Amino acid sequence: MTASPRNLIDRVFFGFQNTATLKAALELDVFTAIGNGVLDADALAAKCEAGPRGIAALCDSLVVMGFLNKSSAGYALAEDAAVFLDRASPACIAGIHEFLAAPEFVELVFRDPAGAVRRGGSEGLANVAPDNPIWIRFARAMGPFMAPDAKMVAEHAGDPAPKKVLDIAASHGLFGIAFGRRFPECHVTGLDWGAVVAVARENAAAAGMQDRYSTIVGSAFDVPWGEGYDLVLVPNFLHHFDRAVCTGLLRRARAALAPGGRVAIVEWIPNEDRVSPPAPALFAMTMVLTTPNGTTYTAAELAAMLADAEFGAPTVIPLIPTPLTLVLARGV
């Protein structure tokens, strides 16, 4: 490869510009406006109540980014956009920018990235109180994004069928709810801050399992978890904490299990080299930039923490095609 400033420009400048571009496209809902059709800039501008000059620049960028195709007739959805960004698609996750590119995160990430690297972490969003509406917004935005993972976890962790499931830091509650959907006898308890767990309750009601859904309101570090669970779910939670805190949480999970019960961890897990696969590898930096002590853990590190918390050797299941991995372990 000949050295070229191209990669540098892409990463330095178009990196953040492309985030803003996709955010604009989602806010204007251009993907839904195009739908199954082919629209030129003028027609799309009229439909989205925007100027054709801005729409043309936006859509041409979305073509470069791989979300649209362009022909002489106009713009059409590429496959990723048709599946994930058209609100008519059942797999639509068009709201994820409200979490992943929330102004609070953008500000935090750009506040002092060199300082975060120096200190190994940032102040995080800790200054946002538990009852801040931001957490509700995040729970709503991330629900659809996590639905495929939740469904896969319920499939992989469903033998034997759990009757009593605890969902730690439930947020939208979808991981627990996936078990309720799959197993009609299953009772699910979601634990999270009050304002957030209300979203989980709504989602449980929408799944028709309001009679089989309970909540525990509070921080997973403060409130009692109950006991006798067949399964404790720890989805997207451990990466916020250091190893000692994670091991402590896993010990609490162990104590809350019925004999033979299991813990199901869902995480961004890099390979041992820590530079692959790309998304979990980049996620360690996400934690440095957005949390005080968070990081990613390899499967071997999670196995060691699980052993310390009196679990057996885990089963590791990549939740393909999503970037997450399921780690299942039984109490010993």
Which among 5-13, 168-176, 248-256, 258-266 is the span making contact with its own copies, rule CB under 8 A?
5-13
Question: Which of 218, 248, 318, 323: binder of its own copies (CB under 8 A)?
Answer: 323
Q: Considering the rule CB under 8 A, would residue 119 count as an interface residue with its own copies?
A: yes
By rule CB under 8 A, what string of x and - marks binding of each residue 27-66 to its own copies? xx--------------------xxxxxxxxxx-xx-xxxx
Give me the least distance between CB of 205 and its own copies, in Å please.
26
Structure tokens at 242: 């250091």
Closest by alpha carbon to 30, among 41, 16, 14?
Answer: 41
Specify the residue, 285 or 307, whose C-beta has the smaller distance to its own copies: 285
185 part of the interface to its own copies, by CB under 8 A = no
Residue 95 binds its own copies (CB under 8 A): no
Residues between 271 and 300 with contacts to its own copies, criterion CB under 8 A: 273-276, 278-279, 281-282, 284-289, 295
The residue count of the chain comes to 332
Which amino acid is residue 238, in one-letter code? L
| CA 252, chain centre distance (Å) | 23
Bridge partners of residue 317, in order along the sequence: 326
Side chain identity at residue 313, one-letter code: A
Name the burial class of residue 277, with classes exposed (0-12), middle (13-18) and buried (19+) by CB atoms within 10 angstroms of its CB: middle
Q: How far is the CB of 256 from its own copies (least distance, A)?
A: 30
The residue within the footprint of its own copies, chosen from 96, 139, 253, 263 (CB under 8 A), is 96
Q: What residues are paired with 191 via a beta bridge?
A: 168, 216
The residue (of 261 and 270) whose beta carbon lies closer to its own copies is 270
Kindly tell me which residue out of 36, 90, 114, 159 binds its own copies, with binding defined by CB under 8 A.
Answer: 114
Q: Which is nearer to its own copies, 28 or 329 (CB)?
A: 28
Say how far residue 317 (Cα) sits from the centre of its chain: 17
Tokens of 125: 């969003």
Size of the site for its own copies (CB under 8 A): 88
33: tokens are 């406006």
Number of Cβ within a 10 Å radius of residue 275: 12
Q: Which of residues 6-25 bind its own copies (CB under 8 A)?
A: 6-24
Interaxial angle between packed helices 52-64 and 15-28, expressed in degrees from 0 to 180 and rounded to the nearest 10:
120
Nearest approach in angstroms of CB 214 to its own copies is 31
